[in-house]
């Protein structure tokens, strides 16, 4: 191990000692001065504390990057199908409320952006999806009220003169419960409909991976059990949703869809309709009288 580290050091140090200032400054801000010198400048691969921090930062940045597109497939499925079948608005409402509280809590506590950045990005995508769900359900006025309510709630929680730090902490505890509760309506909807409808598999499995990674990054960088327990609960429920997605993978998207597929179409529908009419004609009172 020592010989390998010496070899890597001799190869990498000419590069790490001459990094461009923007790269050096960004790495220093992410890792801190001591871990930057240990891992990058000195190439000390036995520094486990700094290595864990570097892995945590890398995972955090990866989660934020993935979160910028995690709900795009879901948005596209809604727009292409013009249907909100199989998607629970209540689930999105609870999840968005939870994310909004968590976002304000992290901002006001000054936690590293790499530990919560995806919350803001996913919340914006959730709002767009929620608006589409309401629109396709014939509740367009409710969509405007939903967006206005979220904006007002965000402003109130950000203003320290309205919501104190202690009150926001209680709200964060409630946000963890909301995050857990937000998954239950979707899980129940899938069981009730016997399929996943327009639910995006990409979003479900990315949520599962992201929540697991967030447990690790929170353990490494955030000393706050409220946030940790929330991510742990989210991972368990995301695992249930992922299991449902696998279980219903080859099944019809919902019971309604399955019944629709069983209905005769085209010539078969015309033939069946004609047969029914003939049958009614034979058994009609006028036919019986003539007989």
For residues 142-168, give the mean pLDDT: 93
Whole-angstrom Cα distance, residue 172 to residue 273? 60
Is pLDDT above 80 for 52? yes
Residue 209 lies in a domain: yes
The answer, yes or no, to whether residue 243 has pLDDT greater than 60, is: yes
Q: Are residues 33 and 84 in the same domain?
A: no
55 domain-assigned: no
Q: What is the mean pLDDT of the chain?
A: 80
Q: Is the pLDDT of residue 53 over 50?
A: yes
Environment class of 178 (CB within 10 Å of its CB; exposed 0-12, middle 13-18, buried 19+): buried
- Is there a domain that residue 38 lies in? yes
Residue 262: per-residue pLDDT: 45
- Where residue 287 falls among pLDDT bands split at 50, 70, 90? very low
Task: Look at residue 283 in the predicted model and tell me its pLDDT.
Answer: 53
Task: Let me know: does 179 contact 236? Beta carbons within 8 Å.
Answer: no
Domain of residue 41, residue span: 2-46
Residue 189 within a domain: yes
Identify the top-confidence range among 18-22, 170-174, 277-281.
170-174
With bands split at pLDDT 50, 70 and 90, how would you rate the model's confidence at 46? confident
Please tell me the least confidently modeled range out of 38-47, 90-99, 252-261: 252-261
Task: Establish if 271 belongs to a structural domain.
Answer: no
CA dist 27 and 46 (Å) reads: 19
What residues contact 171, with CB distance under 8 A and at least 6 apart? 101, 105, 157, 163
Measure the CA–CA gap between 174 and 218, rounded to whole angstroms: 18
**Residue 257 in domain:** no
- Report residue 244 CA to chain centroid gap: 16
Highest mean pLDDT among 5-9, 68-72, 171-175, 195-199: 171-175
Assess whether 39 and 74 both reside in one domain. no
> For 167-213, what is each residue's pLDDT tens digit?
998 898 888 788 777 888 888 888 888 887 777 788 788 888 888 88
* Tally of structural domains, the chain: 2
* Pair (121, 202) in one structural domain: yes
Same domain, 42 and 84: no
Is the pLDDT reported for residue 260 higher than 50?
no
Q: Are residues 39 and 138 in the same domain?
A: no
Q: Could you tell me if residue 265 is inside a domain?
A: no
CA Rg value for the chain: 27
Residue 2: predicted pLDDT: 67
Residues 117 and 80 in one domain: yes
pLDDT attached to residue 133: 92
Flag whether pLDDT at 269 surpasses 50: no
Asked whether the predicted pLDDT for residue 81 surpasses 80, the reply is yes
């Amino acid at each position: 191990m020592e010989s390998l580290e010496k070899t890597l050091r001799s190869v990498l140090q000419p590069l790490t000692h001459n990094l461009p200032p923007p790269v050096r400054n960004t790495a220093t801000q992410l890792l801190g001065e001591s871990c930057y010198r240990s891992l990058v400048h000195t190439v000390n691969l036995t520094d486990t504390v700094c290595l864990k921090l570097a892995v945590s930062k890398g995972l955090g940045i990866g989660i934020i990057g993935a979160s910028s597109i995690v709900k795009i497939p879901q948005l596209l499925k809604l727009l292409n199908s013009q249907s909100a079948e199989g998607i629970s608005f209540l689930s999105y409402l609870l999840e968005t409320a939870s994310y909004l509280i968590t976002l304000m809590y992290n901002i006001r506590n000054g936690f590293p952006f790499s530990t919560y950045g995806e919350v803001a990005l996913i919340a914006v995508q959730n709002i767009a999806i929620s608006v589409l769900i309401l629109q396709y359900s014939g509740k367009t006025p409710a969509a405007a009220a939903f967006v206005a309510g979220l904006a007002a709630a965000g402003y109130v929680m950000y203003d320290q003169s309205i919501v104190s730090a202690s009150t926001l902490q209680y709200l964060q505890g409630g946000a963890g419960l909301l995050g857990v509760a937000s998954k239950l309506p979707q899980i129940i909807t899938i069981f009730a409909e016997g399929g996943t409808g327009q639910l995006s598999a990409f979003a479900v499995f990315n949520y599962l991976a992201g929540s697991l990674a967030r447990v690790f990054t929170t353990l490494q960088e955030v000393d706050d059990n409220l946030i940790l327990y929330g991510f742990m609960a989210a991972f368990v429920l995301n695992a249930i949703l992922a299991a449902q997605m696998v279980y219903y993978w080859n099944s019809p998207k919902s019971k309604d869809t399955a019944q629709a597929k069983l209905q005769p179409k085209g010539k078969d529908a015309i033939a069946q309709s004609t047969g029914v009419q003939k049958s009614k004609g034979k058994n009609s009172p006028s036919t019986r009288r003539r007989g």
